[in-house]
Amino acid sequence: MPSKPAKDKPTPAHLHMQARNTRRFKNAGKPALQKQQLGRLARKGLTPALRTEMKQLRKAWVPWIRQGGGGQYTRKIRVRTSQQLTARPGGQQSFVGIGLDEHVATRLLKTRSLWNGMSKRKAKNVFENRSRTADLVWYNPPPKVGAAVGSWQPIAGHTPSIKSAAVGGTKAAITEGHGNGTPGSGRDGQRELAVDKTRQDATSPNAFQDTLIMGTLATIKHMSDPSTRLNLARPHVKALPTPRYAALTGNKDLRKKKHFRNLVAHVQEERERKKWEVGSVMNKDARLEGLVPPVIRSYLKANANKPLDAMAAFRSDVHNKAVPPPVNTSVESDTRDLTTKSLNQMAAKTTPGRRQRALSDARMLPVAPPQNSRGH
């Protein structure tokens, strides 16, 4: 992973993009940047069933957490409900069914002393900042050169995103690489370490907001892979002796090229959407705006800091313009180790021309949002 700050030197493609977005900004009447709330963005486009269940759980948790003092929450936090994946028109049900994965670890959400003094709005955002479990998919490379086919799981994810059998629930879920639920173990454990590093920074002027944002940044980095890396799994999945299935694509065997590509498009769409969403929250914060990479920031400014509008403009330009905007093509995640510096420390070390890599810049998007991607 990158260890040095990004210098963000503009290329001719950057300059062309900036000129185009400046025209957009002026033609739109120079709109002011809108302030965004991460929890509200994360729940946008979920099915009514998922939204209703989360709202019910939130109504119990928020008053409890804001009472202050100690204690452990004993009621339900996790959302598990729906075989309908999206509110998007044309979305299809999946035999698997999905839930929502908290970006801040359940054990932290259940410990009241960690959240003393949190406002009602922040509490709502922390509770609602989640991912559809179906979208959390990653590649596991061979454990050694020449590893026998079938001796490891080349593609895996959060329960129940990837399956070895077309059955519902958690049965046959492939979760290799997720970790055992303790800090530092696997991808989920690395995410928790990153969130904890930011949460424990007593120097931050807005610690709850930083923790909320880091939950999303660490989810992007650790809990799903970009298409450039997921595609490395393709030959290994094709060679498997038995089928693989995904919640996003239903009972289609991922060993077949078109179904594997469909899965990759879905995962890429949601991973990038999270980047535009969290970028819009950081972009309206004077302390954090320098952490937003140049392409995402340019489109957000031209589109009133509305992440879905900015993402749509980028999608149109990257597929249709003679001079498309720059695209991040790094095979691996292009962010730094998020467990060694808090978000506030990264913001403090960011200067013009030297950006700490808390968030990577925009990657290629599908021509259109895939069928079961999160709705608008």
pLDDT at 82: 76
Q: 76: which 2 tokens?
A: 């339900």
357 occurs within a structural domain: no
pLDDT at 7: 84
User: In the block, which residue shows the tokens 């990038």?
Assistant: 272
User: In the block, which residue shows the tokens 């999270």?
Assistant: 274
pLDDT cut 90: percent of the chain above it: 88
Helix, strand, coil % over all residues of the chain, rounded to 5: 45, 10, 45
7 occurs within a structural domain: no
Please name the residues in contact with 334: beta carbons below 8 A apart, sequence gap of 6 or more.
2, 328, 357, 360, 361
Q: How many domains does the chain have?
A: 1
Look at phi and psi of residue 305 and say left if phi exceeds 0, alpha if psi is from -120 to 50, else beta: left
177 occurs within a structural domain: yes
39, burial (CB in 10 Å: exposed 0-12, middle 13-18, buried 19+) = buried
354 occurs within a structural domain: no
CA 181 to CA 8: how far, in whole Å? Answer: 37
375 occurs within a structural domain: no
2 occurs within a structural domain: no
CA 136 to CA 76: how far, in whole Å? Answer: 22
130-132 sheet: strands from edge to edge: 79-84, 93-102, 130-132
pLDDT tens digits along 47-73: 998 999 999 999 999 999 999 999 999
pLDDT tens digits along 285-337: 999 999 999 999 999 999 999 999 999 999 999 999 999 999 999 999 989 99
Q: Are 351 and 70 in contact (CB under 8 A)?
A: no
Query: Can you give the pLDDT of all 376 residues of the chain as single tens digits?
Result: 666 788 888 999 999 999 999 999 999 999 999 999 999 999 999 999 899 999 999 999 999 999 999 999 999 999 987 788 888 888 888 877 788 999 999 999 999 999 999 999 999 999 999 999 999 999 999 999 989 998 999 999 999 999 999 988 889 999 999 999 899 999 999 999 999 999 999 999 999 999 999 999 999 999 999 999 999 999 999 999 999 999 999 999 999 999 999 999 999 999 999 999 999 999 999 999 999 999 999 999 999 999 999 999 999 999 999 999 999 999 999 899 999 999 999 999 999 889 999 999 999 999 999 999 999 8
Least Cα distance to 8 among 226, 328, 274 occurs for 328
Backbone angles phi, psi at 2, to 5 degrees: -60, 135
247 occurs within a structural domain: yes
**Number of neighbouring beta carbons within 10 Å of residue 179:** 17
pLDDT at 3: 63
Q: Are 316 and 309 in contact (CB under 8 A)?
A: no
pLDDT at 169: 84
Backbone angles phi, psi at 93, to 5 degrees: -70, 155
User: In the block, which residue shows the tokens 């952490």?
Assistant: 291
What is the 8-class DSSP label of residue 107? H
| Mean residue pLDDT across the chain | 95
pLDDT at 91: 86
337 occurs within a structural domain: yes
User: What is the extent of the structural domain holding 323?
Assistant: 12-349
Q: 324: which 2 tokens?
A: 């498309």
Q: Are 2 and 238 in contact (CB under 8 A)?
A: no
